[in-house]
């Protein structure tokens, strides 16, 4: 059974555990935890993927044009409501290259239009999600963060008049890494930018979040990339890729021991094959054939009625 994005998984309340042998789930961390715990209590195999807080780190040597486009697609694509969406951009330093990157991100995000056509951005899923996103933006501003791009005006556009919960791409520059928007899952088209002073500070922030879904670094230096990839605390990592979804045969799923993953294996790749497979082991022992041809080692005429002349046994003789 595969149950996605449900607040009240139906199998938790009905005696279906006799029928179903395994459960896969993708949703929020609290519900994923409930699903995994209940399945464990019923001795069922379970993969329950939870939330995410995906970090991007931009080094001074990153390629601005490509990185800016990739970052915007990552945080604003699907209205930011996908588990692989970027939510925090940690910028190393404050030189001209970093300023150019920030300006490019703002410019490209501001040109996104509302709508359902290709290249445009649709509304968020419902009113509850909309209110949650708005609260994070407002709370950040109250705590002294700077709104580089305010998407709240979309709530008054022509699309909003016809229904739907509309909020445009929003970019927040934080002065404190303790802001709620820097640490908690927002699940919307909101990018939090924070300037770090060292690589170690960037890793400390990324490692310090309770999730372990994805992380990426933007750089043109392979050695720099390797330093970060070997230290990220997430299971799906990218180099100059803002949506590092591993393709088959590699597996998709969060990191064990974090709020991004509960249960067993991943949902694709060899882990998924193992998850949906029962390994059946057969151990056999055969008695030695009590027929003349086996004892003497000589072939018999079909007229004897003892059947075929060749008999195999597990002692390795014919």
CB atoms < 10 A from the CB of 196, how many?
Answer: 18
Q: Would you list the DSSP string of 160-172?
A: HHTSSB----EEE
Distance of CA 113 to the CA centre of its chain: 27
CA distance 261 to 271: 14
Long-range contacts formed by 131-138: CB under 8 A, 24+ apart:
132/186, 132/187, 132/188, 133/167, 133/186, 133/187, 133/188, 133/189, 133/190, 134/167, 136/180, 136/181, 136/184, 136/186, 136/188, 136/190, 137/170, 137/172, 137/181, 137/190
CA distance 44 to 54: 30
CA distance 213 to 135: 24
**Of 282, 291, 303, which is closest to residue 313 (Cα–Cα)?**
291
Q: Active-site residue among 39, 62, 78, 83?
A: 83
DSSP annotation of 229 reads H
83 is catalytic: yes
Task: Give the active site residues.
Answer: 83
């Amino acid at each position: 059974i595969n149950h996605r994005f449900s607040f009240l998984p139906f199998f938790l309340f009905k005696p279906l555990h006799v029928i179903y042998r395994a459960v896969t789930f993708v949703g929020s961390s609290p519900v994923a935890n409930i699903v995994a715990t209940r399945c464990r209590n019923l001795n069922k195999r379970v993969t329950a993927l939870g939330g995410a807080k995906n970090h991007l780190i931009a080094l001074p040597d990153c390629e601005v044009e490509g990185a800016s486009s990739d970052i915007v697609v990552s945080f604003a694509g699907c209205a930011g409501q996908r588990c692989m969406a970027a939510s925090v951009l940690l910028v190393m330093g404050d030189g001209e290259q970093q300023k150019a990157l920030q300006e490019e991100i703002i410019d490209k995000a501001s040109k996104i239009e509302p709508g359902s056509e290709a290249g445009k951005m649709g509304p968020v899923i419902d009113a509850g999600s909309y209110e949650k996103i708005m609260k994070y933006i407002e709370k950040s501003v109250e705590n002294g963060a700077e709104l580089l791009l305010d998407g709240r005006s979309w709530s008054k556009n022509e699309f909003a008049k016809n229904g739907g919960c509309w909020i445009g791409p929003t970019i927040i520059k934080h002065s404190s890494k303790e802001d709620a928007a820097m640490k908690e899952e927002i699940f919307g088209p909101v990018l939090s930018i924070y300037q770090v002073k060292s690589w170690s500070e960037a890793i400390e922030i990324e490692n310090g979040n309770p999730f372990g879904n994805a992380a990426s670094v933007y750089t043109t230096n392979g050695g720099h990339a390797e330093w970060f990839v070997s230290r990220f605390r997430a299971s799906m990592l990218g180099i100059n890729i803002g949506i590092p979804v591993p393709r088959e045969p590699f597996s998709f799923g969060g990191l064990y021991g974090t709020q991004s993953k509960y249960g067993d294996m991943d949902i694709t790749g060899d882990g998924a094959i193992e998850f949906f497979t029962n390994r059946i082991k057969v151990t056999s022992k055969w008695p030695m054939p009590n027929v003349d041809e086996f004892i003497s080692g000589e072939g018999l005429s079909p007229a004897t009625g003892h059947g075929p002349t060749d008999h195999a046994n597990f002692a390795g003789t014919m």
